[in-house]
Homo-oligomer: A and B are copies of this chain.
């Protein structure tokens, strides 16, 4: 076994081929620092201002909303989502080059996030996965590759703030069967 692994490594280095990665994609806990290359975490933590005679803490202006482009504007929508079965093969990702997209859970259910950096060419070895504790939302920055929302319970509900307006604002990338990572939920 160890010899095979070493051969594979040597082969990779010698030919400059794709990085050797585990087919398994294990989600990390979602933190602001870990998610920083992809966008913002939306949660009631950190500094706040006390308003309304002290009855309310305002955690202020938590994300950067991008709605670039001629006639683009922010819209509020609700997604209701079927759960996925895990392990889950990651067949594709999408990106919205013209605007950010925020997903905020409304029913406190944990959910999963799969992302890749906002590069023109990505490989499945570039994937990162995170799990939200159910109170945390995320805001994908414009151009960040991400999988459509991955619920772990049926009829889960998310608030979505993203861009509406003219222009082509959705690209997709598909992974061939051999490239596919398998997202665990453990």
Asked if B52 and A148 sit within 8 Å, CB to CB, the answer is: yes
Check if A77 is an interface residue, CB within 8 A of chain B.
yes
Asked if A139 and B76 sit within 8 Å, CB to CB, the answer is: yes
Asked if B57 and A65 sit within 8 Å, CB to CB, the answer is: no
Copies in the complex: 2
Convert A40-62 into 0s and 1s, putting 1 for each residue whose CB lies closer than 8 angstroms to a CB of B.
00111000100110011111111
Asked if B61 and A75 sit within 8 Å, CB to CB, the answer is: yes
We find that the number of chain A residues with CB closer than 8 angstroms to chain B is 43
Check if A102 is an interface residue, CB within 8 A of chain B.
yes
Among A30-38, A80-88, A121-129, the stretch that binds chain B is A80-88
Asked if A60 and B80 sit within 8 Å, CB to CB, the answer is: no
Q: A104-B159, A107-B108, A159-B159 are in contact. Are A65 and B76 (CB under 8 A)?
A: yes
What's the Cα separation between A79 and B61 when bound, in Å? 11
Check if A173 is an interface residue, CB within 8 A of chain B.
no
Asked if A80 and B59 sit within 8 Å, CB to CB, the answer is: yes
Q: Which residues of B contact A48 (CB under 8 A)?
A: 80
Give A residues with C-beta under 8 Å from B. Answer: 42-44, 48, 51-52, 55-63, 65, 73-82, 84, 102, 104-108, 135, 137, 139, 148-149, 157, 159-161, 164
